[in-house]
Amino acid sequence: MTTEFESELRALIAANRVRALWSLPRDYFPPDEASARRILEKIAARGDRQTWVRARQMLRELN
């Protein structure tokens, strides 16, 4: 993961912590790409349309 990707992921996680990631520790950040994929899938499943689109774009970038 690039630094730019990581900063975008951090922002997406912060914006969706209450809606999609409430069970995770407040300072959680995925340690590897597999964990990042799982987090992005959770965000996509519970987010609004714009969030879903961004999470899916980021998932494609990981492939």
- pTM to 2 decimals? 0.89
Closest of 56, 16, 62 to residue 36, by C-alpha: 62
What band does 19 get if pLDDT is binned at 50, 70 and 90? confident
Q: Which domain holds residue 33?
A: 3-62
Residue range 21-58, pLDDT digits in tens: 989 998 999 999 999 999 999 999 998 999 999 999 99
CB 13 within 8 A of CB 42: no
Closest of 56, 55, 63 to residue 1, by C-alpha: 63
